[in-house]
Amino acid sequence: MIQIEGLTVRFGGVVSIDDMSITFPGGTCGLIGPNGAGKTTFFNVLSGFVTPASGTVSVDGIDLLAMPDFQRARWGLRRTFQTEQAIEKMTVYDNVLIVSEHTSKLSRAAAAADVSQAIELAGLKDKAKVAVGTLPASDRRMVEVARAMVGSPKVILLDEPAAGLPEGETERLANTIKQIPDAIGATVIVVEHDMSLVQACCTTTAVLDFGRMIANGPTGEVLRSPKVLSAYLGGEELL
């Protein structure tokens, strides 16, 4: 469980996150909102890239903000970014292995099993020895997800994982994301503009608008909320 209380982030005179309070209950949770709503800033706070003006963030009672940013990955925080981070000249296996080596103290055999599990869960088992740079965009995106699943993560933050993917590949991605909590035991938070993916894999969804939390609850109910529709698309249907 991830509990946020009174989180506020300011950049000069701009309030990017305004007194945000929410509990992410576990499983797979969506975080949506218009561009500039504060979603990526929220991820940056959890990652340690941004220091909030006030507020608390705790995960199962552990004060995340009290932990130095360089320790959070080893503790169990994983994240993908909107831009690809995988090393193109390395194989899929080695890209995932390097994350495992830097975030855990597993034996060689245990690390190999951990990496293989993540690659298989991402649907890349047959491409484990292929250089990432030769893969299509959809597979490269899945490499990013696989890299986030190694080293026994507690929290996985996925920042627009479906950006640019065709509908068929979005379904594949959603199926993988849905399996993560049960397969690995991590809580997943998905920031995404593709509402079909949010609907397919997120049990609960929260909505930010101009840095303020305007809705939170079961995904279907949130996506049908008139307040959310108005903030997001001027009242049009999201799905």
Q: Give the helix/strand (H/E) hosting 140.
A: helix 137-148
Tokens of 163: 């950006």
Q: 186 near 177, Cβ under 8 Å?
A: no
pLDDT at 14 > cutoff 60: yes
Q: Give the helix/strand (H/E) hosting 57.
A: strand 54-59
Task: Give the pLDDT of residue 5.
Answer: 97
Task: Give the pLDDT of residue 234.
Answer: 57
Q: How confident is the model at residue 166 (pLDDT cuts 50, 70, 90)?
A: confident
Task: Give the pLDDT of residue 33.
Answer: 92
pLDDT at 167 > cutoff 90: no
Tokens of 101: 């080596």
pLDDT at 100 > cutoff 80: yes
Task: Give the pLDDT of residue 233.
Answer: 58
238: closest CA among 35, 81, 34? Answer: 34
Mean pLDDT of the chain: 93
Task: Give the pLDDT of residue 104.
Answer: 86
Task: Give the pLDDT of residue 81.
Answer: 94
Q: CA 104 to CA 195: how far, in whole Å?
A: 34
* Lowest mean pLDDT across 161-175, 195-209, 214-228: 161-175
Task: Give the pLDDT of residue 163.
Answer: 87
Task: Give the pLDDT of residue 142.
Answer: 96
Task: Give the pLDDT of residue 229.
Answer: 86
219: closest CA among 235, 207, 232? Answer: 207
pLDDT at 219 > cutoff 70: yes
pLDDT (tens digit per residue) in 111-139 = 999 999 999 999 999 999 999 999 999 99
